[in-house]
């Protein structure tokens, strides 16, 4: 299962406008390497968000961030993550907020298509 997100304030797609969104991920959720064309500000609200930088997912580069920790990720910085326990992060910044996946085939859909019943 992938992560879920909800807008808290503003529209993350709006050019030059502030936004706040929350992302909830299940235990073990892996966020593949990606980057954003704008700065990303993250506050960990629940769980442990293990974050690392680079173009390839490397668990030896993960740094644990727990509830109350803040992360600033400059625009274009390549990064990846792994969640321990149900994890909730709050992201804020100036839109548009876009995710540029380095390898889109690694991404687990946020709303997987319903599987047909046998």
Reported as a single tens digit per residue, the pLDDT across 79-108 is 999 999 999 999 999 999 999 999 999 987
Based on its alpha-carbon atoms, the radius of gyration of the chain, rounded to whole angstroms, reads 14
- pLDDT for the residue 108: 78
Q: Is the pLDDT of residue 48 over 50?
A: yes
Q: Provide the percentage of residues in the chain whose pLDDT is more than 70.
A: 91
Name residues whose C-beta falls within 8 Å of residue 68's C-beta, 6 or more positions apart in sequence: 43, 44
Confidence of residue 110 (pLDDT cuts 50, 70, 90): low
Please list, residue by residue across 82-101, b when 16 or more beta carbons sit within 10 angstroms of its beta carbon and e when fewer do: bbbeebbbebbbbbbbeeee
Mean pLDDT score of the chain: 92
Q: Which domains does the chain have, with CATH numbers?
A: 4-102 (2.60.120.10)
- pLDDT for the residue 114: 43
Q: Is the pLDDT of residue 115 over 80?
A: no
- pLDDT for the residue 2: 85
């Amino acid at each position: 299962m992938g992560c879920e997100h909800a807008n808290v304030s503003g529209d993350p797609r709006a050019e030059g406008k502030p936004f706040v969104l929350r992302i909830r991920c299940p235990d073990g959720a892996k966020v593949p390497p990606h980057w954003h064309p704008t700065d990303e500000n993250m506050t960990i609200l629940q769980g442990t968000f293990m974050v690392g930088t680079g173009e390839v997912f490397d668990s030896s580069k993960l740094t644990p961030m727990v509830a109350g920790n803040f992360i600033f990720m400059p625009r274009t910085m390549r990064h990846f993550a792994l969640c321990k326990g149900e994890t909730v992060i709050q992201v804020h910044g100036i839109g548009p907020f876009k995710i540029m996946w380095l390898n889109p085939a690694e991404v687990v859909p946020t709303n997987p298509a319903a599987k047909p019943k046998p």
